[in-house]
Amino acid sequence: MSIKTALLEHCHAYVNEKEQKLTARYKLLQDSLVNETKSTAGDKHETGRAMVQLEQEKLEKQEKELKQVKEILRRISIDKSTSNASLGSLIKTNDQSYFLSVFAGVFEDTHEKIFCISVASPIGQCLLGKTTGESFKFNGKTIKISKID
């Protein structure tokens, strides 16, 4: 298995885990709502219900964002080779290694750590479109791209 295949699988696993946690939280809220409905404590009942509904709205927003992240993952092609850093690129610099995809934390290979980052992140924006040999400044530090796969 290629490193980029392993990176993409890592991203999918990270997103799937977030989705499972979101689903579990939503189920807990549903159960809370059912329990609140059974309560007959007047104002306390209404306040509890409102709190649950606010939390449901937050979860729905997170679910929408997660769908967007999954769409980005579907668009990643790790087979194409390009000289410019783009979605699906593995970029090695003098500082770190990055996989331009979605935020999925750190992938630890036996040889190195690779940061799975979104193209919308500050460092992702700096890397996007760059070519091997180019340098840029990030957080006051000069970073040079040594390789793009």
Cβ-proximal residues to 126 (8 Å cutoff; 6+ apart), any chain: 136, 138, 143
Output the CA angle 20-18-110, nearest 5 degrees: 115
With tokens 């709502």, the residue in question is: 33
Q: What is the pLDDT of residue 44?
A: 58
Is a pLDDT exceeding 80 seen at residue 57?
A: yes
User: Are 10 and 107 in contact, with CB atoms under 8 Å apart?
Assistant: yes
User: Are 19 and 13 in contact, with CB atoms under 8 Å apart?
Assistant: no
Q: How confident is the model at residue 61 (pLDDT cuts 50, 70, 90)?
A: very high
CA distances from 3 to 99, 112, 118, 131, 135 (A): 10, 11, 18, 20, 24
Q: How confident is the model at residue 40 (pLDDT cuts 50, 70, 90)?
A: low
Residue boundaries of the structural domains of the chain: 3-75, 90-148
* pLDDT, average across residues 47-52: 76
User: Are 87 and 101 in contact, with CB atoms under 8 Å apart?
Assistant: yes
Strand 105-108 with 113-118, pairing: antiparallel
3-class secondary structure, 48: helix
Average pLDDT, the chain: 89
Is a pLDDT exceeding 70 seen at residue 42?
A: no
* pLDDT single digits (tens) 113-143: 999 999 999 999 999 999 999 999 999 999 9
pTM here is: 0.84
Q: How confident is the model at residue 45 (pLDDT cuts 50, 70, 90)?
A: low
